Amino acid sequence: MSLTREQKRAFRSLLFKHQDGLAITATIAVLEKHSVFDFLAAEHGTSITAILKKFPQFHSGYLNVSLRSLASQGILKYTVTTEEIQIETTEKFNNFLPHISHYENLNTLFSYYYELLKQPYQFPLPKIDILISMATYWSITKQALKADTYFQEEVALHLEGVLLAPLLVYLGYHADLETIETATFLKDASLLKVLQLLELHDGSSLTTKGSFLFAKSYAYGVTASYMPIMCHIESYLTGDFLSFFQQDRLGNEQHVFRGINVWGSGGSHATYFNKFDAVLVDIFNKPLSEQPKGIIDVGCGNGALLEHIFDLIWDKTQRKDDLSANKLILIGADYNKEALLSTKRNLKKANVWAEVVWGDIGNPAEIDQKLQELYNVKLDELLNVRSFLDHNRPFNEPSGVYTGNLLSSGAFAHRGKQLHNSAVAQSLIEHFQKWKPYISTHGLLFIELHTVAPNTVALNLGKTPCTAYDVTHGFSDQYIVELDVFLDAINKAGITIDPMHSYRFPSEEISTISINLIQ
């Protein structure tokens, strides 16, 4: 498939707006059900405290996440101060109000996709009449409102995302899309009807739009993997959500479809790992006396990063010549014992020598103690690596008071309760202070996820998946902060950032991913 630069730009924008819709639709439906938009329309300007006083049934932290996500779409204005969070309506808010019913209608699809995604692959799709009905509704509404610019450029694409993204994820996760044109599911008349209504198929073959989105189905994976949250968003906002933070009887997480999450993130992160690899090559091409004894991946998951690193060192560095005489120590650490078993099993299958250790990212001293007891190696003798983990650490109440002047614009929650942004900043500083003694020799190389201020995201709709990141991570008690806040916390912890190995993506203005070597 050969596309012009303009076509690629347009389709990427479509993909990001689809994820926006997937992230905000369920919360819009719940806020409307409880008349929150009526209150905002009457007040014009208010605060989180005042909204909670009017609507005490809401959990403060998750309500905050919901309102900030609408600010990232330009529907509200969101301002963080040391005392309060202010909420104001915008001009777009008035354009948005007449279209709330469309979001409510499409919200019914979350329960359908929740059931579909948690089941083993089955085809033809069950209850596909639901999809045909909703796709028909979308197509008719889009035609009826063709003169409404706001609907066409934003609302219609949000609704299309709710319809389309989970479907593409389901097919992409289970089916071989390398041969999409001959895929058996394209011969199913009912599914073909849905794809035609959504302009992915013209009756004889995939459209250009269809070919692009099927090829990029993995890009929806991380957002769609949080379908359990989206389906039960009313429980998160006003009900009992604690059970979703527990594991089921088989040890599986209940707030996220982890397999889909790993599949989606793996496909999306290739660009970042190219830079990550370049830093590793530099480190392991140094004189042997300057190299670490080995590598520890805290949050090793299934061991894929360790396997990748071993292959990289073997294929592209001089350390390969010394591996027999100076065996490279490889250790995977994880809080989840099932992950440790998976790492051990997968690395053995790949002929990669590695050990595992149980470890909590919030307690490096305990990891160090276990390493010495089990493997006679100290944590500071290893290069620490990790990917997208620090924002997912368990929240520890800070012991000190934040004295900096950089407040994140993020919305943060812990088990439904709102966390003040200064507490999140101080907790991050203290987190890095714990790690400082163990990374001062060989460093910590890591990839991290960041938020972006809502007003900046609103000016860059279609250029970033930041709204989706904020919703999925906010409702799952994760703490993504802006890049400048993140780097400031590292500096305040007394840790040095290597300027030669510091990268940000996709741009200075909307940096949502960073790679840094610190020590």
Model pLDDT, residue 76: 98
Supply the pLDDT for residue 267. 67
The separation between CA 40 and the C-alpha centre of its own chain, rounded to angstroms, equals 29
Orientation of helix 421-439 relative to helix 483-492, angle to 10°: 50
What is the C-alpha to C-alpha distance for residues 379 and 194, in angstroms, rounded to an integer?
54
Task: Say how many C-beta atoms besides its own lie within 10 A of residue 42's C-beta.
Answer: 9
**Residue among 105, 220, 215 nearest 161 (CA):** 220
pLDDT tens, residue by residue, 259-288: 888 888 876 666 678 889 999 999 999 998
Instruction: Find the helix or strand (DSSP H, E) in which 334 lies.
Output: strand 329-334
DSSP strand pairing (412-414 vs 417-419): antiparallel
Q: What is the pLDDT of residue 423?
A: 96
> In the chain, which residues have pLDDT < 50?
none
Residue with tokens 């073959």: 205
Distance CA(19)–CA(512), nearest Å, equals 15
Compute how many other C-beta atoms are within 10 angstroms of the C-beta atom of residue 351.
8
* CB 408, CB 429: distance < 8 Å: no
| Class of residue 371 by CB neighbours under 10 A (exposed 0-12, middle 13-18, buried 19+) | buried
Residue 268's pLDDT is: 67
* pTM for the model: 0.94
- Structural domains of the chain, ranges and CATH numbers in brackets: 5-258 (no CATH), 270-518 (3.40.50.150)
Please compute Rg for the chain using Cα positions.
Answer: 24
pLDDT of residue 176: 58
Alpha-carbon distance of 323 to 307, in angstroms, equals 15
What tokens does 159 get? 């609704």
| Four-residue CA torsion sign, 95, 51, 159, 129 | negative
**Calpha distance 92→76 (Å, rounded):** 8
Predicted local confidence at residue 370, as pLDDT: 96
- Both tokens of 27, joined, read 């919360």
pLDDT in tens, 410-469: 999 999 999 999 999 999 999 999 999 999 999 999 999 999 999 999 999 999 999 999
